[in-house]
Structure 1
């Protein structure tokens, strides 16, 4: 029995809630080691940011609804794809973490593919994404997707004009095929301003815990801001189909963007409570002759904390 289970029922539940809040707080410690000057400027540019208590209350309520959505997807063998696109540092990863944070990883999984290998480059463009599509009772969150071709590949010169044009010709029919097969396709674009992206890049540069997020490709995307904007606008115009429309999330305020996106996602599904078998904890089999073995102390992790 753990220490928390020794507590009276109400105290134990309070401890579990506090642990959940601590988990979210760890995710929120994004600016802890950023220089004071940059932190001051950032706060200056976000004067109406949600206070932590309001944000956490709304987030936990939405996450409880996500659990209901997950149960509905499993019960009805639904197949769901959610695509998250946007500029670097727009907040895609943050909302994906909050969506999946309290869900079953066997039901809800995130796909973030690396750059294609030489072999994959020779394949049908959509081929490397197809194995990651959901089976019945699964939700797949794409942290970037096949829309790389219309965005970063096009802007950075990794795709020829003919390949981009072929993509625009193929992708609407590809997504219609997915929908006809029973897959629900949801597409989000996280939109931030030029100034906000610059601020977030500066914060990453000055934060040792987030510098890994900055690649040479990310830095080049700053140089090509206007080219990226034009590419995004054409992508939206040519791939916004009734079967799989785009939804734009205003992302300058991270917390509001997360809440708005999750709330909108929930509203797209006619989920409802599903029947559950009542769970009861079985009695432990007790053997009076059993003695727990004493293991060598070197097997234990040192208790430094």
Structure 2
């Protein structure tokens, strides 16, 4: 069994094993073996809370399925902000038949000649379904103008059309939640460095990632413009402080459960009130990590 900051072995004796049936006993063992009690207890609490929140997600999904609701949950943020990790915790125990994850690659030549929103319309949730977007139509709000993948005219047209597009979805009954995962420049670099050194994470690296730090200020400019132009009462932006991955995952799930109604919600064995220091509605005077 590994623990601590340096993956040290716990090396339990027979006397230690006799103590692990109580919280006090576990803490005594950890203190004697010079392990970070606070860090380990947070890890245990995280797993417990995550499981309880995932139980509620199963209940939510059933309600959405039984009532033919359509739910779209959008995850946006800088590269390495934790979008994919968040989505994986959402879907871990959900029924794959009534949910989808959408992570579109770059458009084909045919798609480039279509109305910008056309390929996204085809991914919208069907009745009884939740769709999770690992990036969405908001690529055109931030990534594309920063990297020169769209013209200034295309960018301005998008900002004019997206409020109308989302208002049509809202009027048609689609329930939309938009998350922006906020990380600091130092944390982003730390995560990039981690990916470079981990053969299991190197697939996450792309040429765009390599330029993310270089274009940090440009991303900030377009991000702020996106918020000011696309934060609507029927489709608000929710900012998630994501420097701590585990806290961000818990509070993102908690926000969804708090925001959406479902049968059995009042019987939850865990608080569904998100931490306002981690999950907050965007407003123009807000201060976030990025």
TM-score normalised by the chain length of structure 2? 0.77
The residue that corresponds to 2:30 in the other structure is none
CA RMSD of aligned residues (A): 1.6
* Structure-1 separation of matches of 2:40 and 2:234: 35
Which among 19, 39, 53 is matched to residue 62 of structure 1?
A: 53
SS in 2 for 1:159: coil
Whether 1:73 aligns to 2:64 is yes
Say how many residue pairs are matched. Answer: 230
Report matched runs for 1:241-280 at 5 Å.
Answer: 241-273=232-264
- Structure 2: 5+ residue stretches without partners: 1-5, 8-37, 266-290
- CA distance in 2 between counterparts of 1:202 and 1:257 reads 21
- Corresponding residue for residue 167 of structure 2: 176
Alignment of 1:273-292 (within 5 A): 273=264
Q: Residue in 1 aligned with 2:95? A: 104
- Which residue does the alignment assign to 1:187? 178
Instruction: Tell me, in whole angstroms, the C-alpha distance in 1 between the residues paired with 2:124 and 2:207.
Output: 30
Show CA shifts across 1:38-95 (max 9, x none).
xxxxxxxxx9687321110000000000000001101111100000000010011011
**Structure 2 counterparts to residues 194-209 of structure 1, below 5 A:** 194-209=185-200
Whether contact under 8 Å (1:83, 1:145) holds in the other structure is yes
Cα deviation for residue 151 of structure 1 reads: 1.1
Alpha-carbon distance between aligned partners in 1 of 2:59 and 2:101, rounded to the nearest angstrom: 19
Q: For residues 106-255 of structure 1, what are the structure 2 equivalents within 5 Å?
A: 106-255=97-246
C-alpha displacement at 1:273, in angstroms? 3.3
Tell me the TM-score normalized by structure 1. Answer: 0.73
How far the C-alpha of 1:147 sits from its partner, in A, is: 0.2
Q: How far 1:222 moved relative to its partner? A: 1.6
**Structure 1 consecutive aligned stretches of length 4 or more whose deviation exceeds 6 Å:** 47-50
CA distance in 2, matches of 1:206, 1:49: 24
Task: Encode CA deviations 1:169-219: one digit per residue, 9 max, x unaligned.
Answer: 000000000011110011000000000000000000111110110001111
SS in 2 for 1:223: coil
Which residues of structure 1 form unaligned runs of 5+? 1-30, 33-46, 275-305
Q: Residues 72 and 273 of structure 1 are in contact (CA less than 8 Å); yes or no, is this contact kept in structure 2?
A: no
Shift of 1:220: 1.0
Q: CA deviation at 1:109?
A: 1.0
Say which SS state the counterpart of residue 122 (structure 2) adopts. Answer: helix
Structure-1 separation of matches of 2:129 and 2:202: 33
| Partner-residue secondary structure (3-state), 1:270 | coil
**Structure 2 Cα separation of the partners of residues 213 and 50 of structure 1:** 30
